[in-house]
Chains A and B, each alone.
Chain A
Amino acid sequence: MKLALLLKLALGLAFSSSLAFASTCQPATEQVKVSAVYPTADTLPENLLRFYIYFSQPMQREDILSSIFLADADGNKLDGVFLDNKFDLWSPDNTRLTLLFDPGRVKTGLVAHNAMGRALIPGNEYQLIVNASAQSANGCMLASRFVKTFKASVADYELPDVKQWKISSLILGSRNALSVELNGVMDHVSLAYRVRVKDKAGETVAGKIDLSKQEQQWVFVPAQPWKRDSYRLVVDPVLEDVAGNRMTGLFDQPSLAKESTEQKGWISIDINLIEGEL
């Protein structure tokens, strides 16, 4: 243990930092790390719109893109992949970074797309790399470099479509989980904020949302047993899949020829309630 600590210290010194720096960023158990990356799947469409990177501690907002990059299978850095503009897409608590693929390259028909093509080519393998140089708000570097390896697949041009979702039944008097099989991989923030269960009175049912099958299944466990009520699954039409497609239209909508559908408030779907065992 002590040896490991010494080693880390020595490494820290050898790389870039001062002794003071290393000592304020101890102990190792509290060192900042990447705690999750969404989407979680290891095969992602070539028109993927964004990654979300979660850090275990608040981070410094500035210059984060100097520590994060996309690389090919051999680890060679690919340039011009993520949008680097004046908006920094951090959560208010500085723990989640939205990493946006340059929309000009994702969308077809734009100058950037025509000149450079998409960053992801179907069939190829890539690495999303967060270098240890990413600094926390306290000035501490990551405990180690983070790598997510994934493979690119063909573009996702399927709209989220609630008619294709498979919604399980509820059992009266139980707290059985409601599961919704989605048509495709949805954006995890959308799944957190844009889907709810409501009762007949229109009140949101309290409970916990879980995601499984790599954001292709939405699971809801109610806080209280299901009552004799008319439950509904309600969905905000701005819900998006991982390519930014909405029910109202594709992210990559090349011309006015196909106008986006008008949004008319939340979509409501009845949920089947049964008595006794399934």
Chain B
Amino acid sequence: MRKSKMLVRSIIAALSIGAVSLTVNAGAIPESATILEFAEQNTLFVADSDGGQIVAYTLPKAQPATTSASYNLEGAGRKIAKLLGVDSSLISYHDIAVHPVSKEAYVSLSIQKDGKRSPVIIRVNQAGDFVKVNLKSLPHSVKKLTDTATDNVKFWRDIPATTLGITDLDYVNGTLYVSSLSTGEFASTLRKISYPFDKTSTTANVEIYHTVHNQTETRAPIRAMTVLDIDGVETVVAAYTCTPLVTIPTAALKDGAHVKGKTIAELGYGNTPLDVINFSAFNQQAQKMEDFVLVLHKERSADLIRVSDLANANKKEGLSTPEMWAKAGVATRPVPLAGVLQAADQDEQFIATLKRNLTTGDIDLVSFRKGAYFRLNDFISEYNFDDYQYMPEQEMFRNFQNLLKTDSGYSDLTRQQAKQEKQ
């Protein structure tokens, strides 16, 4: 009996060594599922921060979405808790990602129960069909991020490996960027990992000038980041706690390199950035598509930044003088996304978000229309009264409000012009 157990164990050990670069069909559940990131098509990267690894799951082929529709799933948290059969207070939410083909939302969370933390990924469509993703059934490959001595040196006592607490992932053109924090020595690193996974990875240390702290920092971890093209140069745009915004050209990320990031903005003290995403949106004033970076904050209003402004700031010297109380550097537009914890670029019209409902305390899964960045149904105003009459010169308001009403599932409340209504 014992022998067979040993045999099974060594088979498992052999399998897990083989799993470094191979896709295996029978899957173990990761220790944790925190950050989610889609590659093209049907690959979902899941950061297993506790396990110090990234798992790339191959999802079944998905049907392309036929329409662009917003998510209006207020009270999603309660439904997810019911689906999982746990009290919603036991759930902590981590991330949202949108399937690039089906436009279904994937949500990562963990359940804390009886002293154990278990990871869950939920898939949901705009109709509110919540499904627990069966990770075990999915083909996957694993990339270990463990900082372990691989040589034949023994230690005076058992020194467990150091893992990397993963703070964010971004996938661009076959490369996965991973910002992380060593859970042993508390040092921050930025890694480049090619996908499909192989044994190589590139690890660089990033040094920044911290505007509020007025000092150079090497250890503070990137809290959230996105990778985008700035003037033809692939660039990491990274946000740190308390809240410098920094650019790092990806070409500088060579193995063992000590890279200096350029601090291009100070987004305000006493704040933790929660997410950084980039997307294209239609600019009404300019009547053309334009690229934006959106930084979500825990304590402050979200910042929307035009990539062209970022590019201009990036051409100049970085900030190098202290700024304690105000914002500095690149111009930003504060947008009303209070309570939004995580966001993902959904499609041409929307960003999908996980939002803490500040009234109910529940988790909402709702889309925001790009350009607007607010949901009309969150407000009651003069316009809401039945006897309010839209005048012809208010066409722009009326049309826009009708659009936002339709977005949030209230197409029955759209309004006609005053004259027509009287008829």
Binding site for B on A (CB under 8 A): 36, 49-50, 52, 54, 60-62, 87-93, 95-96, 98, 100, 103, 107, 109-111, 135, 137, 139, 187-190, 192-193, 196, 204, 206-211, 223, 238, 240, 244, 248-249, 251, 253-256, 259-260, 262-263, 265
Contact = CB atoms under 8 A, between A and B. Distances in A.
A209 B155 contact: yes
Contact of A204 (B52, B152, B158, B205): B152
B156 interface: yes
A62 B165 contact: no
Given A87-B221, A91-B183, 8 more contacts: A61-B50, A89-B165, A98-B184, A100-B186, A107-B213, A244-B219, A253-B215, A256-B216
A263 to B, nearest CB: 4
A92 B215 contact: no
A192 B155 contact: yes
B160 interface: yes
Interface in B116-165: 116-117, 146-147, 149, 151-163, 165
A28 to B, nearest CB: 21
Contacts of A96: 159-160, 184
B181 interface: yes
Nearest to A219: B156
Contacts of B162: 91, 189, 193
B interface majority secondary structure: loop
Contacts of B283: none
Nearest to B161: A92
A98 B256 CA distance: 24
- Listed from nearest, the 5 A-B pairs whose CB atoms lie closest are A91-B160, A206-B152, A204-B151, A87-B165, A263-B258
B157 A196 contact: no
B185 A204 contact: no
Given A92-B52, A135-B115, A192-B149, A110 B185 contact: no
A89 B219 CA distance: 14
B115 A62 contact: yes
Nearest to A189: B184
Contact of A256 (B115, B161, B209): B209
B75 interface: no
Nearest to A96: B160
Contacts of B52: 92
B218 interface: yes
Contacts of A190: 185
A62 B112 contact: yes
Contacts of A109: 213-215
B163 A208 contact: no
B219 A103 contact: yes
Interface string B41-79: 000000000111000000000000000000000000000
B402 interface: no
B101 interface: no
A89 B164 CA distance: 9
Contacts of B152: 204, 206, 223
A122 B160 CA distance: 32
B32 to A, nearest CB: 9
Contacts of B186: 49-50, 89, 98, 100, 244
Contacts of B181: 87
B381 to A, nearest CB: 37
Nearest to A138: B115
Interface residues of B, number: 47
Nearest to B166: A87
17 contacts: A54-B157, A61-B50, A87-B221, A90-B50, A90-B183, A92-B163, A96-B159, A96-B160, A107-B215, A139-B115, A187-B185, A189-B185, A193-B149, A208-B153, A208-B155, A210-B156, A253-B216
B268 to A, nearest CB: 13
Contact of B153 (A52, A88, A189, A204): A204
A88 B184 CA distance: 10
Contact of A98 (B183, B212, B215): B183
Nearest to B223: A86
Interface in B287-312: none
B417 interface: no
Interface in B215-252: 215-216, 218-219, 221
A193 B117 contact: no
B172 interface: no
B320 interface: yes
A100 B52 CA distance: 19
Nearest to A252: B215
A193 B150 CA distance: 10
A127 B156 CA distance: 26
A260 B114 CA distance: 46
B362 interface: no
B161 A91 contact: yes
Nearest to B221: A87
Given A204-B153, A262-B258, A62 B213 contact: no
A92 B146 contact: yes
A107 B213 CA distance: 10
A95 B184 contact: no
A61 B117 contact: yes
Interface string B249-278: 000000010100000000001000000000
Given A90-B50, A255-B214, A265 B256 contact: yes
Contact of A91 (B156, B184, B213): B184
A107 B212 CA distance: 13
B153 A196 contact: yes
Contacts of B112: 62
B94 to A, nearest CB: 10
- Among A50, A87, A103, A139: residue with most chain B CB under 10 A: A87
Given A50-B186, A103-B219, A189-B184, A263 B256 contact: yes
A249 B187 CA distance: 14
Contacts of A262: 258
B163 A238 contact: no
B323 interface: no
A50 B309 CA distance: 41
